[in-house]
Homo-oligomer: A and B are copies of this chain.
Amino acid sequence: MKAEIITIGDEILIGQIVDTNSAWMADRLESSGVKVVQVTTISDNEVSILNALEGAKSRADIVLMTGGLGPTNDDITKLALCKYFQSNLEISNTVLQDVEAVFSRFNSVVSDINKQQAEVPSNCTVIRNPNGTAPGMWFDEDNTIYVSMPGVPHEMKVMIDKSIIPMLKEKYTLPVIIHKTILTHGIGESRLAEMMEDWEASLADTQIKLAYLPAPGMVRLRLSGSDAEQIENKLQQLLPIIKEHVFGFGKETLESVVIDLLRKNKKTVSTAESCTGGYTSHLITSVAGSSEVYVGSVVAYKNDVKERILNVDPEIINQHGAVSKEVAELMALGIKNKMDSDYSISTTGIAGPSGGTEEKPVGTVWIAIAFEDTVISKTFKFGDNRERNIRRSALAALDMLRRELLSV
């Protein structure tokens, strides 16, 4: 079963927002055995919408559209759908009641602009929207399923999970496609490919497809196929070859893996951050349940804070500079002591764009991990992009902690 996703909105075409909906929908469709063959993003105008629908129909059995259903006047998707299906708008009482319920929850009266949300093409099945006022619309026409949803992510997501995937499963018998994703940190794509060369050649005798998916600070490897046993066998052959670099699988993240290990070892962690500016702490606390193992952090941007709160000796800062092995280690020891945690992470570096010197260019980072009576540290040379330096530093710090937690 093939699907195409159509995203409607000038805001994406002029680069004002990133389309995150499509990746989310694609993931849900794939896991349900529907293959996404194309994602098409078009402008909020009738001609583009009609052409995209026509094109999608030639490639796919299922066409999922998002966007263009808001209460404001720049949204014309519903009118285009009427034209495409030669139907007319009519009031849906179900939707009208839902809209009224949303407004009464906020003790507010439904405006005329919001009442229009209840108008839908007469040939559609309404998909209710528990999180908003714009309904989803399901069309079963000419051997193709078309679904139109609002572009607001948390509205769309509930519709997909609660209504659309179940409706698709009822209509079609969907096959099973299996993906296994292996997550690696600290090694580049081509170096990894060289390590895996012989193993990769052996895939030629199978139906398994391999993809390399690089992202800042990590490369993911994805095996896809329909034979679970075959994939598992190949995976078990691959793991010993690249074991050193693998930190997890599937939807795991470095932060979720670290939190799981801390929980398993019944240990806690704190962080002292300079160049990462709270990002390491944010990654850790973005994981639900992190409060079990995470105590707290100090972001010590000014040297003064390193001295007063983390008890870093000002003499050491003068002598070695704030970005140094010595300061990183003292920060880690200081925060571990202050927070009374089992482990601690510290980062100090030059994120950029300014602040670099010849000896310590932008991208120079020291990271330390303290635990029991030990402190270990490591230096990294990242690049000249502030955002990526922050992210790569935090990931490198989490990976250092992970390795320590594994060696216990």
Chain A residues within 8 Å of B, Cβ to Cβ = 10-20, 22-30, 36-44, 48, 52, 55, 70-74, 111, 113-114, 133, 152, 154, 179, 181, 189-190, 193-194, 197, 200, 209-215, 220, 222, 224, 271, 273, 277-282, 284-286, 288-291, 294-302, 304-305, 309, 338-340, 351-355, 383, 385-388, 390
Contacts and interface: CB of A to CB of B under 8 A. Distances in A.
B211 A11 contact: yes
Nearest to A152: B214
B193 A113 contact: yes
Given A18-B20, A277-B294, 18 more contacts: A11-B222, A13-B38, A15-B28, A15-B29, A16-B213, A38-B42, A38-B52, A40-B40, A70-B190, A111-B190, A113-B194, A154-B388, A278-B279, A278-B280, A278-B284, A278-B285, A279-B285, A298-B299
A285 B296 contact: no
A198 B74 CA distance: 15
A23 to B, nearest CB: 4
A24 B16 contact: no
B40 A12 contact: no
Q: How many copies does the complex hold?
A: 2
Contacts of A43: 37-38
Contact of A23 (B19, B111, B383): B19
B286 A296 contact: no
A233 to B, nearest CB: 20
A34 B395 CA distance: 37
A362 B286 CA distance: 15
B296 A297 contact: no
A40 B39 contact: yes
A281 B13 CA distance: 31
A285 B181 CA distance: 32
A293 to B, nearest CB: 10
29 contacts: A13-B26, A14-B36, A14-B222, A14-B224, A15-B28, A16-B222, A17-B23, A38-B40, A38-B43, A38-B48, A70-B189, A70-B212, A71-B189, A71-B190, A72-B190, A73-B193, A113-B197, A152-B214, A154-B388, A277-B281, A277-B286, A278-B278, A278-B281, A285-B390, A288-B353, A295-B304, A295-B305, A298-B309, A309-B338
B18 A18 contact: yes
B12 A16 contact: no
Nearest to A339: B305
Given A296-B301, A301-B291, A305-B295, A23 B15 contact: yes
A205 to B, nearest CB: 15
Contact of A299 (B193, B296, B301, B383): B296
Contact of A300 (B30, B190, B224, B296): B296
A382 to B, nearest CB: 12
A159 to B, nearest CB: 15
A266 to B, nearest CB: 15
Given A278-B281, A278-B285, A300-B296, A36 B23 contact: no
Contact of A190 (B16, B114, B213): B114
